[in-house]
């Protein structure tokens, strides 16, 4: 049997440029987890349904289980590991904690990155908007109410921060 083709390419993840030497057929999810040691993107369904593997690519959510790592060359990837800045948790991360919006935490990175993109485009959402935005991210534990509350609270804080020029 022919050995899998190995390729070398550069990936920018959480603001850091990495050189990766790995199988050409490797999924972005597996490159992030196995080659870069980032455990935030989770492997759930591995066919695009659960949202646990969600990362941002150039500011847009993508399912890292549905694309190859080589497809992310020349793109900016953000995983949950890059969301806090200078040791300070993002308002979304803080509100997830305050509202007990996670139990096992398996869905949480994908939920937060999805909410991050969403709040960037919908700074003053309704509860229905939030539920709709998160409908592609599955949680087996929380019943969703606390997650929606956390996203709404983070949205309020982010709006207040913008008004205050923070």
Footprint of ligand FES (CB under 6 A):
43-46, 48-53, 63, 65, 102-107, 139-142
What is d(CA 107, CA 101) in angstroms, rounded to the nearest whole number? Answer: 10
Q: To the nearest whole angstrom, how small is the minimum distance from the Cβ of residue 111 to ligand FES?
A: 7
Q: To the nearest whole angstrom, how small is the minimum distance from the Cβ of residue 112 to ligand FES?
A: 11
Cβ-based nearer residue to ligand FES, 20 or 134? 134
Contacts (Cβ under 8 Å, ≥6 apart) of 33: 39, 41, 43
Q: How far is CA 116 from CA 3, 38, 68, 77, 92, in A?
A: 40, 19, 23, 14, 8
Question: CA-based angle 29:30:35, to the nearest 5?
Answer: 120
Place of tokens 């050409």: 24
Cβ-based nearer residue to ligand FES, 20 or 50? 50
Cβ-based nearer residue to ligand FES, 10 or 135? 135
Alpha helix positions (H), the chain: 28-30, 91-98, 108-121, 127-133, 145-163
Q: To the nearest whole angstrom, how small is the minimum distance from the Cβ of residue 52 to ligand FES?
A: 5
- The closest of 109, 11, 113, 107 to 59, measured between CA atoms, is 113
Q: To the nearest whole angstrom, how small is the minimum distance from the Cβ of residue 64 to ligand FES?
A: 7
Cβ-based nearer residue to ligand FES, 24 or 49? 49
Kind of pairing, strands 16-23 and 6-13?
antiparallel
CA 99, distance to chain mean position in Å, is: 19
Cβ-based nearer residue to ligand FES, 42 or 90? 42
Q: To the nearest whole angstrom, how small is the minimum distance from the Cβ of residue 32 to ligand FES?
A: 12
């Amino acid at each position: 049997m022919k050995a899998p083709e190995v390729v070398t390419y550069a990936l920018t993840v959480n603001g850091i440029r990495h050189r990766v030497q790995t199988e050409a057929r490797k999924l972005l999810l597996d490159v992030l987890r196995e080659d870069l040691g980032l455990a935030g993107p989770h492997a759930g369904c591995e066919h695009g349904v659960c949202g646990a593997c969600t990362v941002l690519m150039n500011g847009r959510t993508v399912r890292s289980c549905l694309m190859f790592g080589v497809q992310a060359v020349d793109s900016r990837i953000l995983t949950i590991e890059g969301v806090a800045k200078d040791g300070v948790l993002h308002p979304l991360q803080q509100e997830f904690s305050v509202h007990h919006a996670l139990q096992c935490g398996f869905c949480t990175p994908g939920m937060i990155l999805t909410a991050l993109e969403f709040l960037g485009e919908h700074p003053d959402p309704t509860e229905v908007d939030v539920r709709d935005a998160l409908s592609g991210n599955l949680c087996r534990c929380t019943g969703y109410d606390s997650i929606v509350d956390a996203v709404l609270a983070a949205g309020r804080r982010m709006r207040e921060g913008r008004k205050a020029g923070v």
